[in-house]
């Protein structure tokens, strides 16, 4: 079983899309661990705030299968294939880590934004504080501690999980 870390984000009906994504992820992956939910300003464009979180899970799928699964879940929830990168979205699901794999193909792992987006690093540091980044060899807790927190506005929020997602 591979341990994977997944970034989830949404700024279009974000509460319902995050809940739906977690239910779908629970159908495909084992042992989901959820970070807190964080609200952040849109990065790279003017838009409504995003809700973001990181999920850890276990899987027997290959990297390609995991990414394909994520793309299908995004599309099932209204994500338009080929839409602009910096734009509002119903759901954004990204594979951050797949064990300690370092690769450029089929996707970049570890995902570069771990090191520069607070909305990825803070929730990752929350659920995997002592895990080390496979390239920079520092713990996520240490990386978050050293992060310039003035770069991006981000704050944890109370999130009302529905009964369906509490069993994950």
Cα distance between residue 9 and residue 51, in whole Å: 6
- Convert the pLDDT of each residue in 71-119 to its tens digit: 999 999 876 666 556 567 789 999 999 999 999 999 999 999 999 999 9
Where does residue 53 rank: exposed (0-12), middle (13-18), buried (19+ CB within 10 A)? Answer: buried
pTM, two decimal places:
0.91
Place of tokens 């980044």: 133
Active-site residue list: 79, 89, 92, 94
Quote the pLDDT of residue 87. 62
- Convert the pLDDT of each residue in 131-160 to its tens digit: 999 999 999 999 999 999 998 889 999 988
Cα distance between residue 70 and residue 93, in whole Å: 6
Quote the pLDDT of residue 131. 98
Cα distance between residue 80 and residue 3, in whole Å: 28
- Average pLDDT of the segment spanning 1-22: 95
């Amino acid at each position: 079983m591979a341990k994977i870390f997944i970034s989830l984000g949404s700024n279009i009906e974000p509460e319902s899309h995050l809940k739906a994504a977690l239910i779908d992820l629970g159908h495909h992956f084992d042992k989901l661990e959820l970070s807190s939910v964080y609200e952040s300003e849109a990065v790279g464009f003017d838009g409504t705030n995003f809700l973001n979180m990181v999920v850890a899970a276990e899987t027997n799928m290959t990297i390609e299968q995991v990414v394909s699964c994520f793309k299908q879940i995004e599309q099932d929830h209204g994500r338009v294939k080929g839409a602009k990168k910096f734009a509002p979205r119903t759901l954004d699901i990204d594979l951050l880590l797949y064990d300690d794999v370092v690769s450029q193909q089929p996707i970049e792992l570890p995902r570069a934004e771990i090191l520069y987006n607070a909305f990825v690093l803070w929730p990752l540091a929350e659920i995997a504080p002592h895990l080390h980044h496979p390239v920079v060899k520092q713990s996520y807790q240490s990386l978050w501690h050293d992060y310039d927190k003035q770069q991006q506005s981000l704050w944890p929020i109370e999130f009302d999980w529905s009964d369906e997602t509490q069993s994950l």
